[in-house]
Structure formats: structure tokens, C-alpha cells
Amino acid sequence: MVFSDNTNNTGIVEQTRAMLRVDATQYPTYKIVNSVNNYLDTVTGYAIGADRNFQWDDSNHTKLPIGTTDLTAAQSDYSFLTDEQGNSILNLTRIDILDPDGSYRKLELIDQENITVALDEYESTDGLPDKYDKIADNIIRLYPTPATTVSAGLKFYFQRSASYFDATDTTKSPGVAPLLHRGFMIAAAYDGALALGTQNLQALSTETEKEQFKMKKYFEVRNTDMNRRMTPFAQSNR
């Protein structure tokens, strides 16, 4: 479903207004943009959290969620706030480091809760990092602290914010599976009904719940090419 199609009236904007029985003056496009982008955040958050084995990304992004940054001597902490296109990085999924032989290798993820000595004493001699601790979703600390500066010494993999809509968009569609596109129109129509006090608010609330349920079920089972293992359940007879 495209964002706007005023020729066939099949876009999110046109269908939202049709549900509300309003025109562009009564409910301008920027309000629909806000609703659609808010719903994008809802979908993105659920997609990222639903299955850690599936690295979801908005299909409207034009570059892969992979970046590099310089490794800096004596600097142990690194933050990854945005990608090269300005999208917010929400979660780091992997960190690789450039070896002296010119090949990247994966760093081991550790947690400071499992370090039994003072953090200042752990891996206290500078060298080539082989571990990292995630201080936050997009901030890491390397162990040991780098001894040398290396251009593009760190390669990071991440999940990021969605590709948002602007009021001028027309043929752009939500960067999720087409079967979830109706949810964006329903979410925008519900917000409009709430703001305008239309009589179909309750009906739209019900439709919103249906779309969110469909969205959640989709993300729960979408990784169909991965074999799922059944875990035996032992029940005591005592």
C-alpha cells in the first residue's frame, strides 16, 4: 500500500480520510504522517524484540546495517548513535575487529557482572581487544584497551530506526511485509477518530487490536527457514 495515491484513492492517506469521512482541510497530511511514523516505531520495536535470531531491518533503507569506525589508541569506550544516513542505531548485534593481518574477526561479548575483579584491573594492559561489554544498546567498552590506532578497525552490525515518511511521499510504502500495510492506515484512522471525536472510534479501536495481533503473530513465526526444536516437558507425579 503506497503512502498517497490521489488518482485511485488507494493510498494510506486517502483511505484514512475515507474512514474518517473528512477532507484534507479537516485532517491534513502531516497528522497522518505523524500517526504512520508512530506506528512504524511500534512495528520496529516489536520486530526487533520478537526474535533475536532474525535481524529485521526496514526494507526502505538503501544501505545495509553495517558500519565501520576507527579503533583509537587508549580509547576503550565507543558509541554508535547513528548510521551513515542519520538513522538512529537502536541495538548492536555484533562487533568485529581488524586483525594485524588485515582480516576481521568477531569479538567476544562479555558482561561486567561476570568480571570478578575491579573493572579497572581487568585486562589492564593495552593491546588488541578481543572482548567487549555492552554498556548500553549502542555503547560498548573494549577489553583490553586498544594499544594502537587502526583505520576502520571496528566493524559493527546493528538494528536501527525505520525509514520514516514525509508529507511529500507518494509511492513509498511501509518497509514491512505488504500484509501488514493495512495496519498503518487503521492506526492513522484511529488517531484521527480520537482527535476528531468521530462515531467510529470504538470500531477503529477494535480494528487496531486486530491489526496489532496480526502483526505480532507474523513476527513470531516469520523465520520459517529455521528449524524449531521441541523442548521436552517433564511433569512430576508427586
- Indicate if the pLDDT at residue 139 is higher than 70: yes
> Tell me, what's the pLDDT at 227?
52
Distance (Å, whole) CA 49 – CA 38? 17
pLDDT in tens, 165-177: 999 999 999 999 9
Nearest to 36 by CA among 191, 170, 199, 194: 191
Domain residue spans of the chain: 12-57+166-221, 66-160
**What is the tens place of the pLDDT at every residue in 5-23?**
999 999 999 999 999 999 9
pTM of the model: 0.87
84 vs 226: which has the higher pLDDT: 84
- Nine-digit cell string for 101: 593481518
Residue 234 predicted with pLDDT over 50: no
pLDDT of residue 230: 42
What digits encode the pLDDT tens for the residues 44-84?
999 998 867 778 999 999 999 999 999 999 999 999 999 99
DSSP state of 230: P
3-state secondary structure 86-154: CCEEEEEEEEEEECCCCCEEECEEECHHHCCCCCCCCCCCCECCCEEEEEECCEEEEECCECCCEEEEE
**Average pLDDT, stretch 85-94?**
95
The DSSP call for residue 127 is B
Between CA 165 and CA 32 the distance in angstroms is 10
